């Protein structure tokens, strides 16, 4: 027998006008870990805060060294069945907008493989694929920065496709530094890493993502509110809704009488507001729903 919650999800998508709110749980099947889901509960990693990054040259050195290593892993990640299902639902006009808390660009990558799919993606927390200068606010590509960091750190060697600082070869052979959810690696010794500055003005470069302790730009917040107001349903995929940046849209939808359906492995802060709740793997569930809708 098909669970009632799965039938509600399928019907919500069949009716169209759905806005998707996605979180890190959607990308775990692509090999990108999360902080709070099943793959993240045992991790003690603490994310970089905006205050630490802007207030300490040493903190920036630590961040960029670790992030430079992790960039190999992030660029190697590919969309999984969940991303592809969402892109197909959008291509068919059943999903009208995607609001993602993820910074990995996998929604867009899934859409590029399908004509006119995944065009309407709002990156609530920004993207690791861009870099912003905190002085002149010029945005440049992360790929360009990666080349500059390689040139500035010639003693860091490649091993099995991952850049390593001198003397870390044994750690990589044993499985390598662990990759954290924000795309950096659990590397303790970073003092030998050279950080580069903005080419335009010499200012401090930061990934174009919203760090912990930093606010999502107001215009972006309001644009997402407008998308939710226009929705027939809000479907949450792979988010614990622990942080307010995502939870506020669930609360907003519920206050307007817009049905909320949550698919996540583990409890969320929005469960009591949901019309239906599924604790299930994202890729498998979304693939099954898509098959039902197109049959």
Q: Which residues contact 248 (CB under 8 A, 6 or more apart)?
A: none
The Cα–Cα gap between 52 and 58 comes to: 9
* SS3 letters across 126-187: EEEEEEEECCCCCEEEHHHHHHHHHHHCCCCEEECCEEECCCCHHHHHCCCCCECCCCCECC
Q: List the one residue out of 199, 274, 206, 208 whose CA is nearest residue 236.
A: 274
Give kind and range of the element (H or E) at residue 21. strand 18-22
The Cα–Cα gap between 243 and 83 comes to: 22
What are φ and ψ of residue 98, in 5° steps? -125, 125
The residue annotated as part of the active site, out of 68, 73, 83, 125, is: 125
252 as an active site residue: the answer is no
* Catalytic residue numbers, as ranges: 125
């Amino acid at each position: 027998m098909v669970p009632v919650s799965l039938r509600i999800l399928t019907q919500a998508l069949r009716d169209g006008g759905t806005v998707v709110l996605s979180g890190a749980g959607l990308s775990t099947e692509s090999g990108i870990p999360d902080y709070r889901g099943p793959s993240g509960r045992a991790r003690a990693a603490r994310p970089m805060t905006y205050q630490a990054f802007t207030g300490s040259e040493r903190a920036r050195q630590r961040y960029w060294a670790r992030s430079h290593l992790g960039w190999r892993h992030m660029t190697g990640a590919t969309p999984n069945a969940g991303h592809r299902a969402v892109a197909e639902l959008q291509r068919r006009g059943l999903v009208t907008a995607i609001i993602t808390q993820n910074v990995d660009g996998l929604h867009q990558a899934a859409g590029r493989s399908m004509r006119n799919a995944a065009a309407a993606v709002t990156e609530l927390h920004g993207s690791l694929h861009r870099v912003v200068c905190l002085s002149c606010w010029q945005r440049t590509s992360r790929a360009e920065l990666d080349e500059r960091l390689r040139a500035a750190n010639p003693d860091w060697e490649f091993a099995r496709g991952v850049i390593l600082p001198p003397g870390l070869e044994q750690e990589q052979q044993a499985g390598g530094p662990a990759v954290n959810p924000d795309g950096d690696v659990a590397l303790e010794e970073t003092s030998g890493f050279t950080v580069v500055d903005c080419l335009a003005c010499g200012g401090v470069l930061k990934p174009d993502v919203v760090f912990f302790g930093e606010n999502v730009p107001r215009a972006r917040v309001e644009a997402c509110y407008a998308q939710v107001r226009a929705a027939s349903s809000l479907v949450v995929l792979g988010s614990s809704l622990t942080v307010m940046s995502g939870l506020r849209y669930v609360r907003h939808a519920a206050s307007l009488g817009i049905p909320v359906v949550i698919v996540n492995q583990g409890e969320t802060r929005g469960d009591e507001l949901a019309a239906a709740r599924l604790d299930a793997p994202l890729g498998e569930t979304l693939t099954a729903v898509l098959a039902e809708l197109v049959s």
